[in-house]
A and B are shown apart, each in its own frame.
Chain A
Amino acid sequence: MLGSGAMSNSFEDIEKAKTILVIGSNMTVAHPVVATFVHNAVQNGSKLVVIDPRATKLTEWADMHLRLKVGSDVALINSIMNVLIAEGLYDKQYVEQWADGFAELKETVLRYPPEDTEKITGVPAEQVVSLARLLAQSKPAMLMYTLGITEHTSGVHNVFSCANLQLLLGNIGVPGGGVNPLRGQNNVQGACDAGALPDSFPGYEKVDDPVARRKFQKAWNVSNLLGYEGLRLPAMLEGLKTKKVRAFYVFGEDPATTEPDMHHVHDCLSSAEFMVCNDIFPTKTTEFADVVFPSAAWSEDDGTFTNTERRVNRVRKVSPPPGVARPNWWIFRELAKRMGDTWASSCAKDIWDNEMAPQCSMLNGITYDRLEKESLQWPVPHALHPGTPHLFKDTAHLYRDVRFTQGRAHFKAIDWTPSAEIPDEQYPFVLSTGRRLYHYNCSSQTANAVGLNDLLSEEIVDISPEDAKRFGFGTDDMIQLTTRRGSITVRAKVTDEVPKGMVWMAFHFYKNNSNWLTNSAADPISDTAEYKSCAVRIDYPAV
């Protein structure tokens, strides 16, 4: 999300939470092991509240399920806060001591009484009132969210709303509380920490900060570091078409499958003047490349992954890569050499111990030697520091979803805005997308593992029994889905997991991928695309 958007707390906190509030996270599918801990907490008496348009597996264990309409999160959370303030249930002492901006928040949320927001959210007012009272009584509450919050044009506002709610309840900075995104990819945290972001160096120091630039110029022995933010992925793709970008280097990702609006993405990629890929498998994206480098895969190289609770974990080599494939860090180092720069580090341990950890204040105390003996969660500012399972005690400034500055947090009053594309006469359904259990991302790994394809080998569209009945089709019938961007014919699965008026798909396979349909409209702050909501038409039989 916003760079260091890691969990404020840890998985071990799940059992300490009196209430677990899950928003936009189908964790039994996307983070299955975390879901088992939630199940144990529920067995031991924690309350579980699920806010999701779909009746996911998690709702079977839940005390409450608020089945909101796609894209109405801000309105719903504002209405919960409305009740907390109107009924005087919020943590007044905590708010006075720790937070600014309460007056503005109050002014805004008072415009969202549950009776009025019901028509936006579809959630009955009495359910909102019960939830607000539950949250006030049963503390601390641990809020967990995933891409159901962030993949909206209001994604950043959705995150702010989660933070507002937890601040208002006094649930930030306590074990069993916090704002906890479950991050999708195995090392998205590590990639962010390493500075694979256009606005920040390793350790989240900003490129527009002259002090940071001087620091990294010295570390890298260069004088040319630029002080303005680089392009983000959507702008890079667009730049290929406008010729602002002439050469494009894609490492280990398959944007031709996983980015929204595939026709547009393919159009951009095919405009590239020169394109390079590192990968372990040929993908749709490598087809567009001029040069493809074969990479070492997981377990063919030593290194680290950092998980969603900021835990730095070792990855160990057990076998050599196939053929002449080489580690990715080596490929980048060779390119640097051929462009005139000689880098000292000649293995991942050197890179971590001699460069990255010393350069990143939150990683200063982490070495490969320590990782042999300990499991460490950053920040670990020095060699004797035991790691930080809970943020916002001494390290508030390192967490950016909520900004504690000079020891105080700031409420952000947020108004609800609808999704970029809402259903109309021509495209009357909402299409929302996500993950399925048996595959991962573009499925280049899972589809090449023996057995997972036996469990799922194609895209499927989930649709409610009411809607399927109205069209007269059933499970396994092929139906046509069309949006303003594309059209696919895909197998239907009739299930009451999805509400009436909505269809749901994943994006694991190239054929019939939902990204032929999705909208690339993105959050103006984070540039995260609105994968969770666009307008779609159903045709049966296909036309």
Chain B
Amino acid sequence: MRHVIFNNKKVEFTENQTLLDTASVAGINIPTLCQGDTCYCSSSCGLGIAENVDTGELISTCTTLATEGMNISTESTKVFEARREKLISIFSKGAHNCFTARLPEGKCAPGHLEARELEWHEQECPAKGTCTLQKLAGKHKVPVMDIPLKIETPVVDNRSPFIARDYSRCIKCGQCISVCQDIGQNAISRCSYNGTWHPTVDIEKCTHCGQCLEACPVGALFDKKAFGIAKKKVTKVQTTCPYCGTGCQLQLHVKDEKIIKVTADEDVAPNMGRLCVKGRFGYDFIYSENRLKTPLIKEDGKFREASWDEALDLVASKFIEVREEYGPDAIAGLSCARSITEDSYNMQKLFRATIGTNNIDHCART
């Protein structure tokens, strides 16, 4: 068996395995901003570095293959400092005013006030609390508030009704591009901009599925509907999507009995973290003002509101009347292929056991 040494520990590796993958299999965490199951990383974030203890060199674990006997440190002072420098560099290029969004004018480093003026920056960063960059900054003692900001790509794309693309916060990890390729959409590509680049979406090809939102490690891509809703007291509830027969499992983010956002977990079958536009963004029909809220009875061609007792008694008595006069087969029912199974069970039971007819169907035929 072949081994490399990580932080004085022997770790097995397999043919053509990168140091990053070898470490990951062994449970050793090397921070990266573009790591993920869907990442085709070419070490673009530059954080996945480690020290070759024998030579003192810093190497990229994302691109270096493990070889027999390598002695690697992922925690040396040299590595820590290099990562910190890299993080400072990443911070300095974008509108990462996350820790200064509420500070008075005199206390902010150059560029932080300007960042506040940008579109979508009037509220806290939508990734606050979940942002990988922010977490790494904390871990590496990056002086975020003091870093002067020079925003490389102050570009906002609001064309999607659901997804805001604020490239002023983009760290150019390429994860949105990778995930869009992986699911077969290929709608996102690189767009040159003042000597650098940012992702751009072909809106004709984009299906607004929002998989790129889940891939974005920072607050560059976010859900417009959830924007500005503080994440305090949000609970997650797993449920099943109300659209199509795939049965995707959704994680509802619920605050004060209201769904504020929908995501999916990568390890939950059948959808393994994937959703489509309807599943991710089509949840709020239940809050529509058009909902039926009270029983209605038609009189002289017009509906009027009624109590449950009145409406239920009317229907029950009418069914009894029809059954007495014409027999149970003069009553027919169509059940619902969108509601829960238990509703269909009770409806067919009402028809078969109570009314006494098999005239119960639903739209399974179409």
Contacts and interface: CB of A to CB of B under 8 A. Distances in A.
Interface string A512-531: 00000000001000111101
A471 interface: no
Interface in B242-256: 242-249, 252, 254
A526 B365 contact: yes
Given A31-B246, A33-B275, A451 B239 contact: no
Interface stretch (B58-66, B88-96, B139-147, B336-344): B336-344
Interface string B220-248: 00000100000000000111111111111
B316 A335 contact: yes
B313 interface: yes
Contact of A450 (B225, B254, B350): B225
A300 B286 contact: yes
A265 B249 CA distance: 36
A186 B360 CA distance: 19
Nearest to A285: B334
A22 to B, nearest CB: 13
A372 B247 CA distance: 16
A325 B346 contact: no
B361 A185 contact: no
Contacts of A327: 343
A201 interface: yes
A356 B295 contact: no
A165 B366 CA distance: 24
A336 interface: yes
Contacts of B322: 246-247, 273-274
A303 B337 contact: no
A197 B244 contact: no
B259 A449 contact: no
Nearest to A57: B184
Interface string A262-291: 000000000001101011111000100111
Interface in A111-163: 147, 151
Max chain A CB contacts within 10 Å: which of B257, B268, B335, B364?
B364
A329 B346 contact: yes
Contact of A440 (B244, B268, B314, B320): B244
Range of interface residues on chain B?
35 or more
Given A151-B366, A323-B293, A251 B336 contact: yes
B334 A253 contact: yes
Contacts of A392: none
B182 interface: yes
Nearest to A446: B282
A199 B274 contact: no
B269 interface: yes
A230 B358 CA distance: 4
Interface string A484-519: 000000000000000000000000000000000000
A183 B285 contact: no
Interface string B325-352: 1101111111111111111111111111
Given A187-B338, A247-B330, A251-B347, A446 B278 contact: yes
A184 B366 contact: yes
Given A294-B295, A332-B346, A448-B290, A247 B319 contact: yes
A446 B281 CA distance: 10
A474 to B, nearest CB: 17
Contact of B366 (A147, A286, A445): A147
Nearest to A316: B239
Interface stretch (A64-72, A96-104, A218-226, A421-429): A218-226
B277 A196 contact: no
Nearest to B257: A319
A192 B277 CA distance: 27
Contacts of A245: 330-332, 359
Contacts of A318: 237, 239, 252, 254, 257-259
B247 A301 contact: no
Contacts of A365: none
Interface stretch (A337-345, A396-404, A412-420): A337-345
Contact of A282 (B240, B290, B366): B290
Interface string B298-312: 100001001010011
Interface stretch (A76-84, A167-175, A232-240, A534-542): A232-240
B161 A455 contact: yes
Contacts of B343: 251-252, 303, 327-329, 332, 348
B239 to A, nearest CB: 5
A94 interface: no
B318 interface: yes
Given A226-B356, A351-B346, A319 B258 contact: yes
A208 to B, nearest CB: 10
A379 interface: no
A249 B331 contact: yes
Contacts of A329: 340, 342-343, 345-346
Interface stretch (A34-42, A85-93, A458-466, A475-483): A34-42
A199 B358 contact: yes
B353 interface: yes
A326 interface: yes
Interface in A190-248: 190-199, 201-202, 207, 216, 220, 222, 224-226, 228-233, 236, 239, 244-248
Given A194-B345, A236-B332, A33 B365 contact: no
Contacts of A220: 349, 352-353
B244 A191 contact: no
B363 A185 contact: yes
Contact of B247 (A199, A306, A319, A529): A306
A190 B277 CA distance: 24
Contacts of B276: 32-33, 437
B161 A195 contact: no
Given A247-B318, A341-B354, A334 B312 contact: yes
Interface in A1-47: 1, 3, 10-12, 28, 30-36, 38-40, 43
Contact of B345 (A30, A195, A444, A451): A195
Contacts of B277: 32, 437-438, 452, 455
A335 B245 contact: no
B5 interface: no
Given A32-B209, A33-B246, A226 B358 contact: yes
Contacts of A340: 354
Interface in A291-325: 291-295, 297-309, 311-316, 318-320, 322-325
A187 B339 contact: yes
B257 to A, nearest CB: 4
A239 B327 CA distance: 14
B110 interface: no
A308 B247 contact: yes
B345 A202 contact: yes
A527 B365 CA distance: 7
Given A31-B245, A196-B335, A236 B361 contact: yes
A188 B339 CA distance: 9
Contacts of B326: 246
Given A198-B361, A226-B329, A338-B316, 11 more contacts: A185-B244, A190-B344, A245-B331, A251-B334, A282-B290, A307-B246, A328-B336, A339-B316, A340-B354, A341-B353, A348-B343
19 contacts: A31-B246, A185-B338, A190-B340, A197-B364, A233-B361, A255-B363, A279-B292, A294-B294, A299-B286, A304-B240, A314-B240, A315-B239, A318-B259, A324-B294, A332-B346, A335-B316, A341-B353, A351-B346, A444-B285
Interface of B: 161-162, 182-184, 207-209, 225, 237-249, 252, 254, 257-259, 268-271, 274-279, 281-286, 288, 290-298, 303, 306, 308, 311-320, 322, 325-326, 328-366
